[in-house]
A = this chain, B = another copy of it.
């Protein structure tokens, strides 16, 4: 088994279809449509409002926002597609041979903030990048519960695992671990939630996994990742499509189970407090957010991920032996959710 941190050696061009960009773009818009329709049906009252925007340097997007739904206090699902002549410095540093080449990037991302504290917040993002002979897919989906329901965490992970397993047996264990590491708040020593999937730079050549960081939050996890066979562009595109379509089946049943549970000020206050961690993660650690803000991205679309109402409280600690304490003890640490067995 080989572990490498940044080995991305572009070799001869993989079989990149001539219509790669339009096919991925079409999928990204399609999954935005599918998810928005599914969420409107699930919510029952809330409707998405769409704003289209254009990027002067090339490209544009469709931002869709739902506010004051029955389930969703706020939810945003964005599609964007950008192209240009000049690659961002972060990519040129990795691939100096791409200097002077144009680039293309597209993706769909989503964050949902339900009102009922028993329903978890959820995030999804799938994206594609292409420049010259270099291309890769990235993305994932992860769940951030406020109250500890192990069966919800298990269902979410099992659904994503089933989608992964149809493509490669190492995808789920690898990308689950990567997710635990990526969505980690070092200054709080907490995961953002119970994770899910996260991957980046999937170009068919690279190692599946860059780590894990031997000191990272998932350091005690098994990292028995085999060296995969090379995967084609078609293989990876099919995998990303399957992941995108697994979102509604992974999340909707959790909403249905929790939406009628009654709650009071205690649960609402705890939810608002925990939402603060979402803000801290997105503004301090999330590469996409920071990159977007620093490069004149569309601020309102980037910050649509921030919750509608948030609370901070100095020195808060949950009372022992409460559901809030159980969240900290069990749900803010990496766990083997897919093999969870009911109490």
The answer to whether A308 and B315 touch across the interface, beta carbons within 8 angstroms, is no
A308 CA to B311 CA in the complex, in Å? 5
Is A290 within 8 A of B284, CB to CB?
A: yes
Contact with B along A253-289 (1 / 0, CB 8 A): 0000000000000000000100010011001100000
- Whether A308 contacts B300 by the Cβ 8 Å rule is no
Query: Which residues does chain B contribute within 8 Å of A293, judged by CB atoms?
Result: 186-187, 284
A303 proximal to B (CB < 8 A): yes
A188 at the interface (CB under 8 A from B): yes
- Please judge, given known A-B contacts A187-B293, A284-B293, whether A306 and B312 are in contact too, CB under 8 Å: yes
Do most interface residues of chain A lie in helix, strand or loop, or is the interface mixed? mixed
- Does any Cβ of B come within 8 Å of A67's Cβ? yes
Judged by a CB distance under 8 angstroms, whether A299 is at the interface is yes
Kindly list chain B residues whose C-beta atoms are within 8 Å of the C-beta of A76.
314
A120 at the interface (CB under 8 A from B): no
What is the total number of residues of chain A having a CB less than 8 Å from a CB of chain B? 34
Give the distance to chain B from A296, nearest Cβ to Cβ, in Å: 8
Contact partner of A308 among B280, B283, B284, B313, CB < 8 A? B313
- Any chain B CB within 8 A of the CB of A307? yes
Contact of A284 among B272, B283, B300, B311 (CB under 8 A): B283
- Once A187-B293, A299-B187, A299-B188 are accepted as A-B contacts, the answer to whether A310 and B313 lie under 8 Å apart by CB is no
For residue A300, which residues in chain B have a CB less than 8 angstroms away from its CB?
314-315
A contact residues vs B (CB 8 Å cutoff): 51, 65, 67, 74, 76, 186-188, 272, 276, 279-280, 283-284, 290, 293-294, 296-297, 299-300, 302-304, 306-315
21 contacts between A and B (CB under 8 A): A51-B315, A67-B314, A74-B314, A186-B293, A186-B294, A187-B293, A187-B299, A187-B302, A272-B309, A279-B283, A279-B310, A280-B283, A283-B283, A283-B284, A284-B293, A300-B314, A304-B314, A307-B312, A308-B312, A309-B310, A310-B312
